[in-house]
Amino acid sequence: MNSIQKGGLWEMTGQAKAVTFIGAGGKTTCVKRLSAEIQAAGYPVVASTSTKVFPDRSFYPWQSQDSAPEETVEYPCFWFGGIEQETGKWYGPSLNTMDQAIRAESGEGVREAKAERYWVIEGDGAKGKRLKLWNEREPQIPQASECVVLVVDGSLWGRRLEAEDVHRPERFPELIGEIFDHGNFRRYLSISPIFWMQYRQMSWVVFLNQSSDGKLLEASGQTRLQSEMLGKQLKKPAHLRLAAGQAKEGMIQWYDWW
Read off the pLDDT band of 215 (50, 70, 90). Answer: low
Name 22's bridge partners.
150
Q: pLDDT tens for residues 138-165?
A: 999 999 999 999 999 999 998 999 999 9
Q: Of 204, 207, 199, nearest to 148 (Cα)?
A: 204
Topology of the domain covering 5-256: Rossmann fold (3.40.50)
Q: pLDDT tens for residues 4-59?
A: 889 999 999 999 999 999 999 999 999 999 999 999 999 999 999 999 999 999 99
Which pTM value belongs to this model?
A: 0.92
Q: Per-domain residue ranges for the chain?
A: 5-256
Q: Of 93, 91, 92, 44, nearest to 70 (Cα)?
A: 44
Query: CA of 247: how far to CAs of 23, 64, 156, 204, 255, in Å?
Result: 14, 29, 16, 17, 16
